Structure 1
Amino acid sequence: MSIEPHKPIADYVAANARLDADAMLKPFAADAVFLDNGKRFEGHNQIRKLFEEEVIAVKAIFTPDTIRNENGQIVVEGPAHGNFPGSPLRFTYRFTLQADEIRTLEVTL
């Protein structure tokens, strides 16, 4: 699926496919908030730790198959595959963008 109109999202998804923590973090604002199934991570240091411990460690790769605008957010859905129980699992990613950066990302099952 093409998500090119939303460059920060496309960059994040491409970096996730390579399991590259530095590149995954790059599209996020310095004070971004990442909500992961009820857990809150704020700023680059906490978000990097999340990527390293809960994404890269289990090789979780998100493969978007739908995208839509909803109430000012970009909603991207699709499965994530990796070395974790229940793989693949279907996730919903809700991105809030500002000035070509990811300000907030909420991930839910």
Structure 2
Amino acid sequence: MVLPDALTRFFEAEQSGDIDVLTSAFCDNATVRDEGATHRGREQVRRWWLDAKQKYGHTARPISVEDDGDARCVLSTVHGDFPNSPVRLHFRFVLETGKILELEIGA
């Protein structure tokens, strides 16, 4: 499976816990939608991810990727400290200038 560089960095950071690598994959004006909340801008994305890591201790590993018009949909296995772990979740990424502009996480 071949992922764009920004998505590769995102999933590598998911494994390593490196917040700097993760945030470098996002545009300054990025938007993340997860668990019913929207996080705007790189600083809110940073806080969202750190809070989620502390709460769930999760990791995500990509299984497959599909193009969906202007987006890349990555099916991932997510392990963590939550009921029914592991689960499979869809990560829908929209890229701009080689970085993540939008990310929506859902079932």
Fold-level similarity (TM above 0.5): yes
Q: What SS does the aligned partner of 1:63 have?
A: strand
The match for 1:48 is 46
Q: Which among 9, 12, 19 is matched to residue 10 of structure 2?
A: 12
Over 3 Å counting, the alpha-carbon distance change for 1:14 and 1:31 in structure 2 is same
CA contact (8 A) 1:32 1:103 kept: yes
Q: Distance in 2 between matches of 1:75 and 1:95?
A: 6
The match for 2:103 is 105
Q: Distance in 1 between matches of 2:92 and 2:35?
A: 12
Q: What SS does the aligned partner of 2:48 have?
A: helix
- The count of aligned residue pairs is 107
The match for 1:3 is 2
1:76 aligns with 2:74: yes
Among all aligned residue pairs of Structure 1 and Structure 2, give the percentage whose two residues are the same amino acid. Answer: 23
Deviation (angstroms), 1:38: 2.3
* TM-score (norm: length of structure 1): 0.91
Over 3 Å counting, the alpha-carbon distance change for 1:3 and 1:60 in structure 2 is farther
Deviation (angstroms), 1:20: 1.4
Deviation (angstroms), 1:19: 1.3
Q: After TM superposition, where is structure 1 displaced by more than 4 Å over at least 4 residues in a row?
A: none
1:34 aligns with 2:32: yes
Q: Distance in 2 between matches of 1:10 and 1:56?
A: 22
Q: What SS does the aligned partner of 2:84 have?
A: coil
User: Gaps spanning 5+ residues in structure 2: where?
Assistant: none
Larger helix share, 1 or 2: 2
Q: Distance in 2 between matches of 1:34 and 1:88?
A: 22
Q: What SS does the aligned partner of 1:84 have?
A: coil
Q: Distance in 2 between matches of 1:48 and 1:70?
A: 26
